[in-house]
């Protein structure tokens, strides 16, 4: 499951993030149904009637909504939108939701990958590569190696919410060009046959199980972006960093998260202290 917040053009415009972040939360196919059902149950428990009656987007779990809900109740207010978050009218209710989300990560132990492209550093070093292509290439590399090392060569499918710009980028063939370029310097070549060549994009208005699971990837993306911005791991409960960090894949040679579950491009970019 992938999510990509804040996609921007190649140039760095005022007000846009200096990072492009792509995240993936990997689950076995046998865990897909119980994980989705656990998220359904969580929403009913914490959002009340809105989880059944309101449009899905009104109870969508996103990293920025968790942050805003925690900040709102701490100041004595309510997060009025999306509608489902009105049920979180006290700090203990927000904390209960965060605790249950943490248990989702701890129970299902998804394999988490995050790729961050430092757009400012790319411009400084004159690397003429599209951030989207770089991010997907790194993601393919990490997933392919994890499949080979951990799952005896099982194949994987990337499921993502609809991204019109990303779909168009794949159709141009540029993504494969960038992947080949970035693979040439690797001492170990990933077996890309273990990863479907492009994501399976789903419509969140029509999907059921997958749109629930993709929410976890959004939580990861928001927390990773905050980690990069601060230069260190965020410690507020709303970021769920402790749970996310335990699920980040480690590098196959170093055994560390950096370069494995959390990859940063270019290599000259500043890495957070985690």
Span 202-215, mean pLDDT? 91
In this predicted model, what pLDDT tens digit does every residue of 50-65 receive, in sequence order? 999 999 999 999 999 9
Span 109-131, mean pLDDT? 91
Residue 162 has pLDDT above 90, yes or no: no
| Chain length of the chain | 274
* β partners of residue 118: 19
Span 234-263, mean pLDDT? 92
**DSSP label of 270:** P
Q: What is the mean pLDDT of the chain?
A: 91
Q: Rounded to 10 degrees, what is the CA torsion of 13, 62, 129, 227? A: 80
Is the four-CA dihedral 243, 257, 8, 191 of positive or negative sign?
negative
Span 217-231, mean pLDDT? 97
Span 94-113, mean pLDDT? 97
Confidence band (pLDDT; 50, 70, 90) for 70? very high
In this predicted model, what pLDDT tens digit does every residue of 15-52 receive, in sequence order? 678 899 999 999 999 999 999 999 999 999 999 999 99
Confidence band (pLDDT; 50, 70, 90) for 7? very low
d(CA 188, CA 143): 14
Predicted local confidence at residue 5, as pLDDT: 44
Span 215-221, mean pLDDT? 97
Predicted local confidence at residue 170, as pLDDT: 92
Of the chain, the percentage scoring pLDDT greater than 70 comes to: 95
pTM: 0.92
Asked whether the beta carbons of 65 and 240 are under 8 A apart, the reply is: no
Predicted local confidence at residue 164, as pLDDT: 87
Confidence band (pLDDT; 50, 70, 90) for 194? very high
Residue 94 has pLDDT above 60, yes or no: yes
* β partners of residue 264: 116
The residues, ordered by sequence, that sit 6+ positions from 251 with a Cβ below 8 Å of its Cβ are 257, 258, 259, 260
d(CA 32, CA 66): 23
């Amino acid at each position: 499951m992938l999510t990509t917040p804040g996609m921007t053009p190649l140039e760095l415009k005022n007000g846009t993030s200096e990072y492009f972040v792509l995240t993936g939360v990997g689950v076995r196919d046998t865990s897909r149904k119980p994980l989705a059902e656990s998220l359904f149950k969580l929403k009913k428990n914490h959002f009340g009637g809105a989880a059944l009656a309101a449009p899905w987007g009104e109870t969508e779990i996103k990293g920025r909504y968790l942050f805003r809900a925690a900040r709102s109740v701490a100041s004595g207010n309510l997060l009025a939108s999306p509608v489902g978050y009105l049920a979180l009218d006290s700090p203990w209710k927000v904390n209960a939701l965060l605790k249950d989300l943490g248990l989702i990560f701890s129970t299902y132990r998804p394999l988490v990958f995050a790729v961050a492209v430092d757009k400012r550093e790319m411009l400084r070093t004159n690397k003429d590569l599209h951030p989207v292509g770089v991010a997907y290439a790194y993601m393919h590399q990490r997933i392919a190696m994890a499949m080979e090392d951990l799952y005896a060569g099982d194949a994987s499918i990337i499921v993502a919410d609809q991204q019109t710009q990303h779909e168009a980028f794949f159709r141009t063939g540029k993504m494969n060009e960038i992947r080949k370029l970035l693979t040439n310097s690797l001492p170990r070549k990933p077996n890309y046959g273990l990863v479907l060549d492009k994501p399976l994009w789903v419509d969140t208005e029509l999907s059921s199980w997958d749109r629930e699971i993709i929410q976890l990837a959004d939580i990861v993306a928001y927390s990773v972006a905050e980690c990069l911005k601060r230069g260190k791991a965020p410690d507020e409960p709303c970021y769920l960093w402790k749970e996310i960090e335990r699920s980040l894949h480690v590098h196959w040679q170093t055994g560390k998260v950096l370069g494995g579950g959390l990859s940063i491009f270019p290599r000259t970019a500043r890495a957070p202290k985690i």
